[in-house]
Amino acid sequence: MITELTETNFDSEVLGVGDTVLVDFASGTCAPCRAIVPVLEQLSEEYDGEVKIGKVDVGVFPLLGARFGVEMLPTLLFFKQGNVVDKLIGIQSKTKIQNILEEIG
């Protein structure tokens, strides 16, 4: 399940957890952003209980994008214990995302 993240719940859902969290900074009007959604949905099922996957709509919550220096969409930020540990920009393969998730454990 992909968690919808907002300015209200971001800190508690992402920064306040010790687990690995993958956050997709995207917009509903962005075609590449929509294209990566099926990959993220598959990963959320495969990593259920291990990795939390969240999504920020920067069209609705632009301050969250600005807070983390998101300049291009989609941007995937990988958090571990509340800190950004890796970043991918643009459409990515499932394998590339999985490799990072495995690497950061």
C-alpha–C-alpha distance, residues 77 and 37, integer Å: 15
Across the chain, which distance is largest between two alpha carbons, in Å?
A: 32
Active site residue 82: no
Question: Tell me, what amino acid is at 43?
Answer: L
Q: Which is catalytic among the residues 30, 37, 51, 89?
A: 30
Q: Which is catalytic among the residues 14, 23, 26, 33?
A: 33
C-alpha–C-alpha distance, residues 72 and 104, integer Å: 23
Active site residue 30: yes
* Residues taking part in catalysis: 30, 33
